[in-house]
Every structure is written in C-alpha cells, then in structure tokens.
Amino acid sequence: MTNDESLGQNLALLRSHGITRDPGEMENGSEGGWYYEQISLGYNYRMTDLQAALGCSQLTRIDDFVAKRNKLASQYDIKLADLPLDLPVIPSHAVSSYHLYIVKLQQHHPLSRLKLYDHLRSRDIGVNVHYIPIHLQPFYREMGFSPGDFPEAERYYRNAISIPLHPNLSENDQDVVVNSLREFML
C-alpha cells in the first residue's frame, strides 16, 4: 500500500467516526449486512456552508416532514399491531419526529433478527439495525468495557430492526413492508 493510499484510509476512518465496514479491519465476524465496528475514535466534522444553507431551506418544511412521519407511524402501529413485534411507544405528553421506526422481535419469538433482515433486504426493503451498543465496539472494549456491562442495551440490540419511514414513503410502499413482515412472521 502506498503512503497516499494509507493516508486516504486513515482520513476516511477519521471522517467516519472511526467506523469501518471493511472485514479486513474488524476484530469480530460480521453479524449481518448492517454490521460495522468502531476501531478508533473519529471526529464529528462540522458541515460546510453549503450543507448549512440546504439545512436551513429544509427547516421551512420540517413541520410537514414530521406530520407525514407521524401519520405513517400511526399507520404502522395499526397495521403491525397483531404481529409478534414490540412497536415504538411514545409517551402521551411527547411528540416524536420518528427519525426511525424501530420494531423489536419479541423475546419469545423463535425467528432471528438476521433472518428477518435478510428476508426484507431480499425484497429490496431498506431495513437496518440502529445501533450497536457502544461498549461492544473494539475501541471501547480496549478501554475495559465488556459484553454484559449493559444488558438492556444488548437485549435491545439483539431484537431491534429499523423499517423504512421517511416523508416520501407511499402508502403502497408501506403496505409492501407490512406484507413482507407478515409473510415472514406468520
């Protein structure tokens, strides 16, 4: 590897908060298509002026975005109610922007999250897993953290999967997600 290639890899690692998806750089085997490892401490580089201007222009539409996400989340709540999933719970005194819509396989369910993830991805449904507990990352394990230190975070991680939710999600797209979940789970 040349010095330029090495520098490029190091800069990419710094820019991405020290996170890699490259199996050759990971300490553990991959758990699925979502898997990554934080192998060093990266940085939170600030946005450019252009990105700030784009963000400001989108702020004028934030109320519409949040309303649309809440409507879609309510539809998910209804359409998924009979499946063996734990759905998001938002306290009655709060409003969620539904940045993510995360469902969790119920602990007694015999199917694995990896199988569900693969099933949905095979149908071109953009699911993901958010987030791997930080204490399980190599960088933090080197600091003395171990599996079992935060059992609730680990339990959440084992069962959680994010399903598509964005302002441009159509009702038909949402039905495809729901029907694919139903096909897998029932």
**Does an H or E element contain 8, and which?**
helix 3-15
pLDDT at 128: 96
Across the chain, mean pLDDT equals 89
- Domains, the chain, ranges and CATH? 1-45 (no CATH), 61-185 (3.90.1150.10)
pLDDT reading at 8 higher than 60: no
This prediction's pTM: 0.83
Cis peptide before 76 (omega within 30 of 0): no
Residues 6+ apart with CB under 8 A from 68: 167
pLDDT reading at 159 higher than 80: yes
pLDDT reading at 66 higher than 90: yes
Q: What does the pLDDT look like over 41-59, one tens digit per residue?
A: 877 666 788 988 998 998 9
**CA dist 136 to 24, 41, 53, 142, Å?**
18, 14, 37, 10
Distance CA 96, CA 147 (A): 31
Q: What does the pLDDT look like over 112-130, one tens digit per residue?
A: 899 999 999 999 999 999 9
pLDDT at 143: 95
pLDDT at 158: 92
pLDDT at 14: 55
